[in-house]
Chains A and B, each alone.
Chain A
Amino acid sequence: MHIAEGFLPPAHAVAWGVASAPFVVHGVRSLTREVKEHPESTLLLGASGAFTFVLSALKLPSVTGSCSHPTGTGLGAILFRPPIMVVLGTITLLFQALLLAHGGLTTLGANVFSMAIVGPWAGYAIYKLLRRFDVPLMVAVFFGAFLADLSTYCVTSVQLALAFPDPSSGFLGALGKFGSIFAVTQIPLAVSEGLLTVLVMRLLVQSSKGELTRLGVLLAKKQSRTETETEAVAR
């Protein structure tokens, strides 16, 4: 769930925008460097952005029986790395605000912070950590997507609790209020998104090994000694 247009008071909207700015600037620099070194990356990055936009438009059946949308941030971060995902996420959130009336321009900073910064970084961190300990790829992908989704909604709860503290119990009461509402819907959804991401990744490993190797998700297969020797003789 994106924070809707005008939902945050002006001071909060500006503060979250300021908090997001360094990450967005860092992402823009990474993307600009990538495009300057490899001009053809523009098209692949654009395709990745479109994929993220379409992924967030898919309807996800929830364990509770309801239906929602995946955030796509976990899969995006695993495939394209968090700095690039910050820019792609910001572009996606801008398109969602202007083309779907979903989210908003004044709340863009807050939504970018939760969905394009914290979600991808948290998901990517757990994914890399698990891979470092040789945990199977699909298990790491599940926890990456699960945590990316859940952390996004935890940050959104904090943002809402800061903006609307409870009249009686203040920030903590409001955090419990928003957090418990999200917990009912988002923990099943995070599990659903984790499962979906695993299924998508399994199909990608079967059908798009080349692209996944190029993106660094799969390691390039080392050439066997006999193959190398055969090539050398042929030359």
Chain B
Amino acid sequence: MLPIDAAAHSSRWRRRHPVDKAVLGLGLTVLAISLPPWPGAALVLVTSLAVLLGPAGVPARRLWRAYRVPLGFCVTGALTLLVQVGGPDGFVSLADEGPLRAGELLLRTSAASLGVLLFAFTTPMSDLLPRLVKAGVPAPVVDVALVTYRMSFLLLDSVRRIRQAQAARLGHTSRAAEWRSLAGLGATAFVRAFDRATRLQAGLAGRGYDGTLRVLVPEARVSVRFTAASCGLLAALAALTLVLERALP
């Protein structure tokens, strides 16, 4: 299982309905990209961190391991805003407003990422996917997504083991060997995926498979109190941003 999904399964908010967590987490993300980066995104960033480490109970180390991935992309992307092409100072020169634009972009992306991480760290995929049918996603697409999700872990595990076996047979000692090993890895993943699908099909056919995958979904109800509190928090953040924007330089 992947670390974020594993954390979601043992989350304090695991039993909450995904809608509750979507309103809060994705609401924070929407606020982060719609409000002015300063002070709006900064406020969202602090609030998201406080909710993640506080009430949601996400371990700080796990959060950092997941957060550093998008943060790396944000920093790399923001660096390009520091320079401009053409102009009186030469073909490539430092942009006047570059640091400001890069800083604003960093604030916006890092705050938005935390909002999605709040949702991802508290909502296992297995709780979310079956409920997408009620949200209007066609059942066949949800079924394909469910099989994809469950088979991904098995395939990732197979790939890890094949890599270990290849390394033990000196499959990564030279560039040519590495290419051969990688190609073998891709082809074996394909063969294993189709083999598993065929065996799964045979097993399901023996159990009267009629084209729909029925799975048990843990019962949960949308909490009016939680959702109202989340909406209140989001409204307060938006209002505070508007007030501070006038007061701050």
Listed in ascending order, the chain A residues whose CB lies under 8 Å from chain B are 1-2, 4-10, 13, 28, 31-32, 35-36, 39-40, 42-51, 53-55, 57-58, 60-61, 75, 87-88, 91-92, 94-95, 97-102, 104-106, 160, 164, 166-169, 173-174, 176-178, 181, 195-196, 199-200, 202-204, 207-208, 211
Contact = CB atoms under 8 A, between A and B. Distances in A.
A4 B201 contact: no
Q: 6 tightest A-B contacts by CB?
A: A46-B147, A6-B112, A39-B211, A199-B183, A49-B148, A203-B187
Contacts of A31: 140-141, 144
A173 to B, nearest CB: 4
B5 to A, nearest CB: 6
A6 B204 contact: no
Interface residues of B, number: 83
B141 A87 contact: yes
Contacts of A5: 29, 70, 109, 112-113, 116
Please report whether the interface of chain B is mostly helix, strand, loop or mixed according to DSSP. Answer: helix
B87 to A, nearest CB: 4
A43 B197 contact: yes
A8 B32 CA distance: 11
B198 to A, nearest CB: 8
30 contacts: A4-B77, A4-B109, A5-B116, A6-B109, A6-B113, A7-B74, A9-B33, A36-B211, A43-B147, A46-B144, A46-B147, A47-B196, A48-B193, A49-B147, A50-B193, A58-B159, A91-B145, A95-B149, A100-B69, A101-B4, A101-B70, A106-B112, A164-B101, A169-B84, A181-B80, A200-B183, A200-B187, A204-B190, A208-B190, A211-B191
B84 A166 contact: yes
B186 A35 contact: no
Nearest to A43: B197
B109 A208 contact: no
Interface of B: 2, 4-5, 26, 29-30, 32-34, 66-67, 69-70, 73-74, 77, 80-81, 83-87, 95-98, 101, 105, 108-113, 116-117, 119-120, 125, 138, 140-141, 143-152, 154-156, 159, 175, 178-180, 182-187, 189-191, 193-194, 196-198, 200-201, 204-205, 209-211, 213
Contacts of A87: 141, 144
Contacts, number: 245
B66 A101 contact: yes
Please report whether the interface of chain A is mostly helix, strand, loop or mixed according to DSSP. Answer: helix
Contact of A102 (B69, B105, B112, B125): B69
Contacts of A47: 147-148, 151, 193-194, 196-197
Contacts of B189: 51, 54-55
